């Protein structure tokens, strides 16, 4: 029996892929309408996190940030109120690795296993079952739940001890934010200098600068369709965790800090609910042009 807590833009399709793979599923979310819809699919719906834990052997959480995971775990009627020794929690949220290590230690005290296993791939990957999972925790626990994680993913990689999964995820988010920023700047440069950004894209996509970020985000920039696959406000959350962790371990991350300022400028323009490809709007504004007229 698998429990799933958090049925948002990523969590719901991930949970549905677990169900489609043949696992019995018990779910909980704060949205009653989402629970009603899941119930119509034949999924068992719980009243709270405690009930999910009582009815499941392994509980997956897919929540916004560290405090939300802490609440699901430790608040009244939380997971620890219903979980038994020998069961496991797999947190697939993108949170602070410091918090992941803390959750691992607290659950270890009651003989409950814990993996931090955040994902990359956005809503399309969650729907298609092609997300990339990066996991931290004890290797035997990872091995035990590898097949379960693969029901949602195209790749599942063990990174190391508890917290390592979220370290990898934050590194991913640093690279993505800087990549989108550099790509957007380059398209503005190309337009201002007299070249067609779409043709520049075609010219360089097969070269060293080509990337999955370029392939997925360039069409959104060219169409001006910034409906979210991954919202700017969530990327801000991730980069805040990057900066907090960097300060904790005393490492300088100037590119990540600059990307954070760009994202904050986008938020100030009311773009926080838009896809992070809307970073392009920042470069358009400061250069007083449109990448595509």
Which residues are known to be catalytic?
169
> Token match 């996190």: residue?
49
For 167-229, the DSSP string reads HHHHHHHHHHHHHHHHHHHHHHHHHHHT--HHHHHHHHTTSTT--HHHHHHHHHHHHT----S
Cβ proximity of 153 and 129 under 8 Å: yes
DSSP 275: B
Cβ–Cβ < 8 Å for 6, 62 = yes
Give the list of residues 6+ apart from residue 42 with CB closer than 8 angstroms, or none. Answer: none
Q: How far is CA 218 from CA 172, 195, 199, 242, in A?
A: 19, 16, 11, 25
Nearest to residue 283, comparing CAs of 151, 193, 187? 187
Dihedral-angle region of residue 111 (phi above 0 means left; psi in -120 to 50 means alpha; beta otherwise):
left
Between CA 258 and CA 155 the distance in angstroms is 30
Torsion over CA: 166, 167, 171, 172 (sign): negative
The Cα–Cα gap between 237 and 189 comes to: 29
Report the candidate in 19, 82, 88, 11 with the shortest Cα–Cα distance to residue 51.
82
């Amino acid at each position: 029996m698998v429990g799933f807590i958090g049925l948002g833009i990523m969590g719901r399709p991930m949970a549905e892929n677990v169900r489609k793979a043949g696992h019995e599923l018990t779910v909980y979310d704060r949205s009653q309408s989402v629970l009603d819809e899941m119930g119509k699919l034949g999924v068992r719906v719980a009243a709270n996190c405690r009930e999910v834990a009582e009815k499941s052997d392994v509980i997956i959480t897919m929540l916004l940030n560290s405090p939300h995971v802490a609440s699901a775990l430790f608040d009244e009627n939380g997971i620890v109120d219903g979980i038994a020794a020998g069961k496991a929690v797999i947190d697939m949220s993108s949170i602070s690795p410091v918090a992941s290590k803390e959750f691992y230690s607290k659950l270890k005290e009651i003989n409950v296993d814990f993996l931090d296993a955040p994902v990359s791939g956005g809503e399309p990957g969650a729907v298609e079952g092609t997300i990339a999972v990066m996991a931290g925790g004890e290797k035997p626990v990872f091995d035990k739940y590898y097949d379960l994680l693969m029901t949602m993913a195209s790749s599942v990689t063990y990174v190391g001890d508890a917290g390592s999964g979220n370290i990898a995820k934050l590194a991913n988010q640093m690279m993505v934010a800087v990549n989108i920023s550099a790509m957007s700047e380059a398209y503005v440069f190309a337009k201002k200098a007299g070249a067609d950004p779409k043709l520049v894209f075609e010219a360089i996509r097969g070269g060293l600068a080509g990337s999955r970020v370029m392939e997925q985000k360039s069409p959104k920039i060219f169409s001006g369709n910034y409906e979210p696959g991954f919202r700017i406000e969530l990327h801000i959350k991730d980069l805040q965790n990057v900066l907090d962790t960097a300060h904790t371990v005393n490492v300088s991350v100037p590119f990540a800090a600059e990307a954070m300022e760009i994202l904050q400028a986008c938020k100030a323009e009311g773009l926080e609910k838009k896809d992070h490809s809307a970073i392009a709007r920042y470069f358009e504004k400061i250069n007083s042009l449109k990448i595509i007229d």
